[in-house]
Amino acid sequence: MTRLRRRVVAIDPTSRGIAYAIFEGRTLIDWGHRYCGAGTDAVIAFLTRVVHDYAVDHLVLEDWRAKELRRRPRIVGLLQAIALWAGSANVAVTGQLRDASRGKP
């Protein structure tokens, strides 16, 4: 059976892990927060499982390249590592600033 809508996972790294929401079209499929500690490997392992289990096509995260980004260097590095991993896992990536996702100019 072929899906007509793509599945998207939006993520937000936190100091203790990663918050996520999975959508198919406009329908929320799953959401939550996963404790992963400060390690990049644990976050990547969790995302690998999410992409596999939910057949995710697209990943949305904060734009790690934006000079307006106000995040700690560890989180910026994590966002970069996630984007690099997604490329190798054939998952499309969109970087977006927080205000843009809220509809603010």
The pLDDT, as a whole number, for residue 52 is: 93
Domain boundaries, the chain: 7-100
pLDDT digits (tens, 9 = 90+) for 10-44: 988 887 889 999 999 899 999 999 998 768 889 99
pLDDT at residue 55 above 70?
A: yes
Nearest 5°: the CA angle 86, 78, 42 is 80
At the topology level of CATH, where does 7-100 sit?
Answer: Nucleotidyltransferase; domain 5 (3.30.420)
